[in-house]
């Protein structure tokens, strides 16, 4: 099982930077013993990880929740808005184009949906899965490429190296979402697959 630190160190090895020990912040007011490099990486890691989570329907990062179990509010326009789950990263279904409005309140972030888009009573969304034990090999591969490009600029100021890894990231991302260089579609996640999401059937 790869930890988040292991993932970062794979990316660092790609750009010939020494491995780190940890990016975990200090707890309970203790002294921050992280190196400047570790602190720099900590500021960008989660942002890059979440970005890759949204690039493909990774089965380990998809949840479904019944709208009937969510907190809802009725706005002055008469519409019912549903509270976004706390671990929400991005929307999957109802389709993104069915999000007709959102409100940011003191109590949370709420969405209004057009339920004519094949509504089945559930909200399928990408969630912030922090447990790296569930990450698939292809996700780790793509994430380390993404990180290598970002860290190349952050730590070495090497723009050309970043461009190299950015190009490789785009290539691998396109493969992951269902297309190879010849444009032949692979099987990608569709609505019929949602029933298997929590069974670990799919691995990408």
Q: How is residue 71 written in tokens?
A: 């907190």
DSSP one-letter code for 96: G
Residue for token pair 């090999």: 137
**What's the pLDDT tens digit per position in 94-146?**
665 566 667 766 566 787 877 765 567 888 889 998 999 999 899 999 999 99
User: How distant, in Å, are the alpha carbons of 36, 46, 121, 143, 183 from that of 132?
Assistant: 24, 12, 30, 12, 31
Residue for token pair 């990608």: 188
Q: What span, in angstroms and rounded, lies between the C-alpha atoms of 82 and 119?
A: 14
Helix 159-176 vs helix 137-156: crossing angle, to nearest 10: 160
Q: What span, in angstroms and rounded, lies between the C-alpha atoms of 28 and 78?
A: 46
**What's the pLDDT tens digit per position in 54-90?**
888 788 888 888 888 888 888 777 888 888 888 989 8
The pLDDT value recorded for residue 139 is 92
- Domain borders along the chain are 4-23+33-58+136-182, 62-127
User: Quick check: helix, strand or coil at residue 154?
Assistant: helix
Q: Which residues contact 157 (CB under 8 A, 6 or more apart)?
A: none
Phi, psi of 83 (to 5 degrees): -70, 135
């Amino acid at each position: 099982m790869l930890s988040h630190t292991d993932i970062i160190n794979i990316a660092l090895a790609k750009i010939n930077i020494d491995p780190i020990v940890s990016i975990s912040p200090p707890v309970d007011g203790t002294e921050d013993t992280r190196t400047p490099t570790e602190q720099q990486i900590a500021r960008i890691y989660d942002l890059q990880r979440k970005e890759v989570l949204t690039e493909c329907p990774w089965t380990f990062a998809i949840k479904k929740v019944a709208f009937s179990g969510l907190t809802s509010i009725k706005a002055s326009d008469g519409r019912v808005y549903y509270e976004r789950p706390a671990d929400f990263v991005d929307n999957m279904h109802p389709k993104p184009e069915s999000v007709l409005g959102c409100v940011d309140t003191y109590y949370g972030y709420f969405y209004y949906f057009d339920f004519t888009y094949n509504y089945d009573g559930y909200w399928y969304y990408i969630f912030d899965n922090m447990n790296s034990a569930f990450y698939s090999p292809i996700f780790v591969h793509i994430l380390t490429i993404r990180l290598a490009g970002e860290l190349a600029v952050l730590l070495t100021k090497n723009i050309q190296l970043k461009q190299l890894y950015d190009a490789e990231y785009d290539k691998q991302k396109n493969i992951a979402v269902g297309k190879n260089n010849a444009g032949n579609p692979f099987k990608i996640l569709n609505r019929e697959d949602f029933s298997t999401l929590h069974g670990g059937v799919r691995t990408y």
